[in-house]
Copies of this chain bind each other. A is one copy, B any other.
Amino acid sequence: MKVQVPKKALADALHNVERIIPTRSSNPGLNLLRIDLLGDALRFSGTNLDIDIESTVRADVRGDGSLALPAQVFGQVVRALPGDVVDIDVAESELLVSAGDFATRLQLVDPDSAPTVRFPDAYTGTLPARAFARALGSVRYAAAVAEYQAIFRGVKLELSDAGSRAVATDGFRLAYYDLDALSGLDAELIVPARSVDEMIKLAHDGDVELAVAEGQVSIRTDDVRLNVKLMEGTFPDYRRVIPSSFPVTITLDAGTLREAVARVAVMADKTANNRVDLFIKDGTLQITAEGAYGRSQEAIPVQQEGTDAEIALAYNAKYLTDALAPLEATLRVSFSGPTSPSVLADPDDPSYLAMVVPLRTG
């Protein structure tokens, strides 16, 4: 065989699979990268048992067959290569990688010892890649981290002919994002947050095609295919907990609030939920924090509805900052009460909604 391939495209394709394939594994062979030689491309594949991946790079290929070697070392070698073009050859169970005056011989292993991954034949759903990544990226922070939180550690995808929504919650906060596109599918999928991170990284151009099967969702882009194992269980009925009546509502610039919270929170007590206090009265939002070293405060003029009312409440500063991150323009914060959830959204673009439960301060 002989292969010639542009270095950057090769490095990119390898980078996609390297992130998935474990460096070390007690499961023999799981650290291996499988390389299939196609007529005009190299196809790399591997798995970590939660995610199967296949990444293809166009190349000038003479010969066919399959090879396998540890994924990580091949990626390292390729990134260190000089020049723009890489030549690859095989001799006596070694992979010869050369570029310019540089040459490496990498020990190959039996391709039968590498895992084989299989992808669906048909992808019946489609979503625009950027919007898909944005929806997942906007809500992913609200997924739970702790092991015991089970199903809360996933992001739910609600796909139907009524819409396409990504939603996540850990019980203390919630975020959803409605895509302005229909997928053509009718399914409710709960994707582990760590697999969501990979889906976000791979969805950047054109369309993402989707296929749903028992316990698995698959996505396909121009050069990558991914199988993701779904979480089992019932996602809570989150709609029930989003309040609908708000005695006080304020409107202000999202960036102004984000920066003010970050500044004031420097003094917040990290051992007491990183607490910041908000007090709204007469069109002014006062933010304060107090900790072992002293006290910070900042006042922001806001447009207030329910002007005869005032409200005082406290949040975990990190929850506020996370909820504000996807918001860029005008922000409306709607307060249902001092101990019941507050809702953050852009009044001009309702696709993203965040809900944060205040801290109990009693």
Residues of A within 8 A of B (CB): 69-70, 73, 76-77, 80-82, 94-95, 101-107, 259-260, 262-264, 266-267, 292-300
Contact = CB atoms under 8 A, between A and B. Distances in A.
Contacts of A80: 262-263, 266
B73 A293 contact: yes
Contacts of A266: 73, 76-77, 80, 104
B262 A106 contact: no
Contact of A102 (B70, B106, B296): B296
- Can you tell how many copies of this chain the complex includes? 2
A104 B94 CA distance: 65
Contacts of A267: 73, 77, 104
Contacts of A298: 101-103
Contacts of A77: 266-267, 296
A28 to B, nearest CB: 16
A263 B295 CA distance: 53
Contact of A293 (B102, B106, B294): B106
A70, A76, A262, A296: residue with the most chain B Cβ atoms closer than 10 Å: A296
A295 B95 CA distance: 10
B294 A104 contact: yes
A80 B262 CA distance: 8
Contact of A296 (B103, B293, B299): B103
A82 B267 CA distance: 15
B296 A104 contact: yes
B263 A293 contact: no
B293 A107 contact: yes
A298 B80 CA distance: 12
Rank and list the top 10 A-B pairs by shortest CB-CB distance, nearest first. Answer: A106-B294, A104-B296, A73-B293, A102-B298, A80-B263, A105-B295, A107-B294, A105-B294, A80-B266, A76-B266
A94 B295 CA distance: 10
